[in-house]
Amino acid sequence: MGTDETTPRLFPNLFADAVGPSAGGPARDHCRCVGHSVATRPAIVSFHRDRQDTEAPGWHHLLALIEEAAADGRMVFKPFVEMSAPERRQIVTLPPTIAKLTTVKRLVLYGTNLVRIPPEIGAMTSLEIFEPYTSHRLHWYPYELTRCAKLADSTVSTRVLYGNFKFRPPFPALRPVTRAGEVDFDALDPAVWGADAVQTCSVCDGPIQGELRQVWISRLVGTDVLPMLVNACSAGCVTALPEPQSGYVPAPHTGGPEIVQPAARW
């Protein structure tokens, strides 16, 4: 028997087990950086300026959870479920030690306060399912995520992404070339660079030494097209980037309000 289109349908909550305890206060901050429609999108956007407090209890708890997951070789990692709401709010990036999670196939980052993902996620070579759904302060992802060659499924809140197809919010402006000596690549302002340090090239994995070239590229990763930040060590590494996803800015670019994007689809 067919289903009447007017009959209410029930959909399973795929993330019912991905939410941590709520007691103790808010678990995250709210963000309207990119707006929510063509009418509300801003002309200019900037990276979040939050710096990770590495002395916070939540940070130390997360470090311990990563070590535990690396030791037992688990395939599913849902660290924020095991953290209190105040602890979850303290986490704005993941520790570089996620590189140890080489057996994890499913990474659940549901409803977090994250504003950036570190490039070390590229070392999670077994990753197949990536779920940062409703982490509404994650507007972009590191290009190193493309190194997760087995990644086939993702659940991302696309409406909060820079350059998303629904209403095309802008990308933060990047400096195309920065020479060594102009800034300390190990002590950067995340509000300007998207990180507090850039040490290795997103493309060749070599060291960033003489210069840093930053560009944006939109690529299909899993089942979502993501705006990806590339930290390249040379013009050659920028040239070596693959073509962007069809329907997005057709070449790697440095963002800013002057970048012309395809028309919004909604």
All residues at 6 or more sequence positions from 165 whose CB lies less than 8 Å from its CB, including other chains: 158, 225, 247, 248, 262, 264, 265, 266
pLDDT band at 3 (very low <50, low <70, confident <90, very high): very low
Q: What percent of the chain has pLDDT over 70?
A: 94
Backbone φ and ψ for 78, nearest 5 degrees, come out as -130, 70
Q: Distance between CA 228 and CA 216 in Å, rounded?
A: 6
- Taking residues 200-220, what's their average pLDDT? 97
Contact (CB, 8 A) for 193 and 214: yes
Contact (CB, 8 A) for 262 and 168: yes
pLDDT tens for 57-66 read 999 999 999 9
Positions of E strands within the chain = 76-77, 106-108, 129-131, 141-142, 153-154, 178-179, 211-221, 224-232
Q: Distance between CA 111 and CA 132 in Å, rounded?
A: 7
Q: Is the pLDDT of residue 37 over 50?
A: yes
Residue the block writes with tokens 């998303």: 164
Listed by start position, the domains of the chain span 57-239
- Taking residues 229-254, what's their average pLDDT? 98
Higher pLDDT, 202 or 10: 202
pLDDT tens for 74-93 read 999 999 999 999 999 999 99
Q: Is the pLDDT of residue 7 over 70?
A: no
Q: Is the pLDDT of residue 99 over 50?
A: yes
Q: What pLDDT does 14 receive?
A: 65
Higher pLDDT, 13 or 188: 188
SS3 of 76-114: EECHHHHCCHHHHHCCCCCCHHHHHCCCCCEEECCCCCC
Contact (CB, 8 A) for 62 and 88: no
pLDDT tens for 137-184 read 999 999 999 999 999 999 999 999 999 999 999 999 999 999 999 999
Q: What pLDDT does 15 receive?
A: 74
Express the helix, strand and coil content of the chain in percent, nearest 5 each. Answer: 20, 15, 65
Contact (CB, 8 A) for 106 and 17: no
Contact (CB, 8 A) for 190 and 116: yes
DSSP 198: -
Q: What pLDDT does 8 receive?
A: 54
Residue the block writes with tokens 């994890």: 104
Q: Distance between CA 138 and CA 129 in Å, rounded?
A: 17
End-to-end C-alpha distance for the chain, whole angstroms: 34
